[in-house]
Structure 1
Amino acid sequence: VLAGLYPAFVLAGFTPVTVLKGSFKTGKKGTALRIGLVVFQFALSIALIGVTLIIQQQLNYVQHKDLGYHKEQV
């Protein structure tokens, strides 16, 4: 809930007609920040997908590793 309050207040200050016509201008600083955040989010997503695949491989390895003895005879 708290994470959505700031964007809601910021977006509430814009008139929809101005934004939809494309006459809404942002500064270079705002554009650079937006692009930087998108790149950061994309890189973080790729990293998390990679970590997930590594964890999956490790779990598969542990579950199928030959322990050197027969479980039925223990």
Structure 2
Amino acid sequence: MQRLLLILFLAFSSFNSFADEVHFKTNDNATIFAEFHKRGTHAILLAHGAIFNKQSWGKFEQQLLGNNYTVL
């Protein structure tokens, strides 16, 4: 039961509530927006393209955050 509560807590609380929105200007003047989840000392960059978006990483992102990774 405790494990289920932990999973639910991570799924609902860490997805957006602790994220900072950041943006980067590229050389060709495009602006890239991202969510930055600051956690531990190891960081992972989750990139997407084509038909995917930031929500495509869903469960994997939550697993990384649950294991104390910083995620962009």
TM, length-normalised to structure 1: 0.25
Q: Pick the structure with greater CA Rg.
A: 1
Structure number with higher helix proportion: 1
Task: Choose between structure 1 and 2 for higher RCO, CA contacts under 8 A separated by at least 6 residues.
Answer: 2
TM, length-normalised to structure 2: 0.25
Structure number with higher strand proportion: 2
